Amino acid sequence: MNLSNLVLYITSLLWLNLTDAKIGYFWHITDLHYDPFHNSPELHRGCRHNRGNNEHSHRNGRHRDHTCDSSWPLIQSAAALMAERHPDTLEFVLWTGDILSSSMEHLSEEIKLEAVRNVTDVLSRTFSSQFVFPALGHNDPAPSKRLVDMWMQWLPTEALQTFETSGYYTIEQSKSKLRIVVLNSVLWAGGAARTDGPHRGRQQWEWLEQILSKARRRNEMVYLVAHAGPGVEERHNAGSSSAAGGGELTPTANARLVHVIRAFSDVIAGQFYGHRHADTFRLIYSEGRPVSWALLAPSVTPRGAGSTSNPGLRLYKFDSNTGKVLDYTQYYLDVNNIRGEAHWAIEYNLTQYYGLREISPASLDALAEKIRNHHDRGVFAKYLTALRVRHAADVAECDSACVHVHFCAITRADYHEFRACVRNPASALASRAAQNSAAILLYAILILLKS
């Protein structure tokens, strides 16, 4: 076969693969942290400062402010963007928790549920023809009949049964071999304020492994969806207040989840989490080989416990027959827009931004290696810019020790493996002075203590 015929043959195979694929889309929205008291001159619950003492933030922060959680106008602007931009082939929406501002923690369940209802109504109008699949965060009301009544428009009876008692459920896609598994990560979090948390947590493990085994028998592919996923916070000033609220997994739960993902990596097509208020990703390895990935979407709220970011929304492109994620488009809103307008724009397209041929464990592993390459800070600069959604990304502030911790957070989801990674810097960093290794270790210890 000559070269021209070979090219033609390969092109025809690619065309057949493309035409066999059924392209669909889904939104991932997370960490709205809606603050109903955002505009109240008396109550600045969701802000880190009193806006009345700051003329600029009082004027512009009324709608959005890096020191404040989401106002109602910000929620509405996000809904308006999604209504305007979503394609006809939008299949569903993943909504991964922390609907409410942490400032509402001590308010009555009645007030919390009313705030959740308001956001639910907005999403119902925005996605009148699509299903929204919600996951609970640690700031959200506990599973209840009232939440079931609110969300029964989106969830089938079988899903509502497990959701009402424990906050987790599974969705079988009738037209494809894709199954969505929504977990309640609060049950596996150290600060879970649930009297029956340990019991429900054990039930969720048994249920999850049964569902994944069932998916394997049926040749289904699975999306794992939750508020918080496995792994360690990568930023130095990681949110201690967030961790105290139960957003992170306990060491035991984290280790078990990593084990389950490894064991069922052949059926897990993707993992989707929020919680960290950052745009990043995680990799799971088995015997040194990358076998599964998790993509973490940035928050809608601009306020972060450790560092701030701009509001973000994410639209995924995927093969709805197989669940293979093909790409995503990240949208953002520049909070520092001096005109004060809620102007959402495209921040980047994943494959183009990082030059990826596909989204797979192997391709993201190669990206992680580029991120830690201290000889070329270009890829890391892109990563750091995306991490905070184009807010104050200064690469010069992150030295080689900082870069290495980012790499370890991406590639070592197990807590013990993370510690081992930061204690043994890559050979590219080993030539630096001995105190550099000590700096890396201290950096990691601070992260773990604050988590």
User: 3-state DSSP: the chain helix, strand, coil percent, rounded to 5?
Assistant: 45, 20, 40
Distance of CA 403 to the CA centre of its chain: 21
Nearest residue to 276 via CA among 226, 343, 208: 226
Give 328-359 pLDDT, tens digit per residue. Answer: 999 999 887 766 567 899 999 999 999 999 99
23-361 folds as: Purple Acid Phosphatase; chain A, domain 2 (3.60.21)
Residue 246 has phi, psi (to 5 degrees) of 95, 20
Give 57-82 pLDDT, tens digit per residue. Answer: 444 444 456 668 788 999 999 999 99
Q: Identify the DSSP state of 69.
A: -
Give 282-330 pLDDT, tens digit per residue. Answer: 999 999 999 999 999 999 998 766 667 899 999 999 999 899 999 999 9
Q: Which two tokens stand for residue 141?
A: 């009301």
Sheet holding 221-225, edge to edge: 169-172, 178-182, 221-225, 268-273, 289-296, 280-286
For residue 441, name the pLDDT band (cuts at 50, 70, 90): low
The predicted model scores a pTM of 0.85
Beta bridge partners of 92: 26, 131
SS3 104: helix
Q: Return d(Cα 132, Cα 142) in angstroms, integer.
A: 18
Give 177-212 pLDDT, tens digit per residue. Answer: 899 999 999 999 875 545 456 677 889 999 999 999
Cα-based angle 285, 358, 384 (whole degrees, multiple of 5)? 70
What pLDDT sits at residue 205?
96
For residue 215, name the pLDDT band (cuts at 50, 70, 90): very high
pLDDT > 60? residue 43: no
Through-space distance between the first and last CA atoms of the chain, rounded to whole angstroms: 59
What pLDDT sits at residue 245?
32
Average pLDDT, the chain: 82
Q: Which of 49-53, 211-215, 420-424 has the highest mean pLDDT?
A: 211-215
What pLDDT sits at residue 382?
94
For residue 46, name the pLDDT band (cuts at 50, 70, 90): low
- Structural domain boundaries in the chain: 23-361
CA distances from 82 to 102, 130, 134, 326 (A): 25, 12, 16, 20
